[in-house]
Amino acid sequence: MQYDVVIGLEIHAELATKTKVFCSCKNEFGAQPNANTCPVCTGMPGALPVINKRAVELCIKAGLCFDCKISSYAVMERKNYFYPDLSKAYQISQMVHPLCVGGKIELSSGKTIRLNRIHLEEDAGKLTHISKSVGSLVDYNRGGTPLIEIVTEPDFCSSEEVDEFLKRVREALVFAGIAECKMQEGGMRCDVNLSLKPKGSKTFGTRTEMKNLNSFKSVSRAIEYEIKRQTAVLNDGDKVIQETRKWDDAKGKNLSMRTKEEAQDYRYFPDPDILPITIREEDIVRIKQEMPMLPKERRKLYEEQYLLSAQDSKQLTTNKYISDYFETCVKLYNVPKKISNWILTDLLRLVKDQEEYVFPISEESLVEIIKIVEDKKITKVIGLELLDKVITCKQSPLKLAKELNLLTIITDEQIEQILLQFKEENPKAVEQVKTDPKVISFIIGYVMKHTQGKANGAVVKELVGKMFVNK
Ligand code: ADP
Ligand code: MG
Ligand code: ZN
């Protein structure tokens, strides 16, 4: 039997705030266990939460990125459940009145994925299971740090669509400064809900949920596995059970964890300690004004204003670091096309860690090198040499170029002298270049050799034309 795949996602992203969402403890990764805790985030009796305005604003910003409707009235609710990583025995989240409602993201195929909502909630602590005899350790540093949860409608039908969507979401959240989305630190995690239905059928099948997938690769693998597993179950005439299944990335399979709880099991109710949030139109206007340009807008700017190719614009905006670096350079020296070439061909190859881009040279220094080349004080080839030297010596390009004696300008007269010498040594080649333009590269090579690469190729070409071809 042929089946249609139906997938809906719940994505959690850690907000880039300095402090937690209901107390003033630091929101940071990697501190000593339980160093960042207080009576509020550990849920001591009588402690009172105060909502972090910045967290609310970042959640609204996320809503603005994805065309959600921003609520004018939102409520924090208690979601009750017991687990050792949650010392309050409830999580403060949103149920009936979330901050952002609806929304959408369009995929490159033109297909639209609808969002159901984006809401604000707090994260739980972290358990480390040591062994059966020792037991588990708990670290509440992450407890009470702010998260947004993005819930989609069940609109995906393949792992490829999910993959593109997740990358779009991450790109927007990072560019807008909402979340850093460091997947390896759990900064962005995804729950996959998946079901199958007979091809063309209108009724949805029973879904399973795989929680807390934290890499794009494991999301794709988990989806492919679950499609196969459910197909086999249905083909055997069995029923898919609605349950949470745990994906084991090392083993490449998933296992049943628990049968699915329903919303009513959590006994949600408005948190009596936190007032409802009212959002005024003027707040939304202000937050909108604070939004930095997103990748899509940046690509438009690069193509229309800077006249870059679509390909280059896309490459420059794969990452906020590169895009910001490029824009800083252009502000310092308005030659976008040249700067783009230097970044995409000469700097990118120097980056070792493909996850965390950092160029080994400052924007100011790169621009200085490009200027020296554009002013024809050195050739591009020597410019690249200078780039390497600046990176190793960490000195100013102009100073280094002078010290290393790279700046010697080769005059036209000097080139003419060398060309005359060439003519004496290679009379045949001089005849050939009149009819065969390919010989020019041989001549340029000769001049470069006799000037340690400091001659300008275009100038040599011009002089060869003048002296040997159109005499
Ligand atoms: P819960 O809050 O219990 O997890 P929701 O109804 O809010 O349940 O749905 C959670 C996610 O599951 C959403 O992303 C939704 O799109 C998705 N989903 C709902 N029904 C199905 C289904 N039959 N198949 C696949 N995904 C589904
Ligand atoms: Mg769920
Ligand atoms: Zn605290």
pLDDT tens readout for residues 224-255: 999 999 999 999 999 999 999 999 999 999 99
Q: Is 9 in the pocket of ligand 1 (CB under 6 A)?
A: yes
Q: Provide the pLDDT for residue 260.
A: 65
Choice among 41-45, 342-346, 353-357 with the minimum mean pLDDT: 353-357
Choice among 280-284, 358-362, 402-406 with the minimum mean pLDDT: 402-406
Q: Which ligand has the nearest atom to the CA of 197?
A: 1
From the number of C-beta atoms within 10 Å of its C-beta (0-12, 13-18, 19+), residue 89 rates as exposed
DSSP, residue by residue, 42-58: TT-TT------HHHHHH
Average pLDDT over residues 382-387: 93
Q: Is 93 in the pocket of ligand 1 (CB under 6 A)?
A: no
Residue 405 has pLDDT above 70, yes or no: yes
In this structure, the residue with its CA closest to atom 24 of ligand 1 is 195
Average per-residue pLDDT in the chain? 93
E strand or H helix that includes residue 221: helix 216-235
Q: Is 40 in the pocket of ligand 1 (CB under 6 A)?
A: no
Cβ–Cβ contacts within 10 Å for residue 258, how many? 9
Which residues is 228 bridged to in the sheet? none
List of residues 6+ apart from 276 with CB closer than 8 A: 73, 74, 75, 97, 270
Residue 342 has pLDDT above 90, yes or no: yes
Distance CA 267, CA 79 (A): 6
Q: Provide the pLDDT for residue 371.
A: 94
Q: Which ligand has the nearest atom to the CA of 207?
A: 1
Average pLDDT over residues 104-127: 96
Sheet strands (E) in 199-338 = 208-213, 243-248, 253-259, 269-270, 277-278
The predicted-structure confidence for 63-115, as pLDDT tens digits, reads as follows 999 999 999 999 999 999 999 999 999 999 999 999 999 999 999 899 999 99
List of residues 6+ apart from 106 with CB closer than 8 A: 112, 113
In this structure, the residue with its CA closest to atom 7 of ligand 1 is 151
Ligand 3 geometric centre to CA of 51 (Å): 12
Residue 354 has pLDDT above 70, yes or no: no
pTM of the model: 0.80
Q: Provide the pLDDT for residue 456.
A: 81
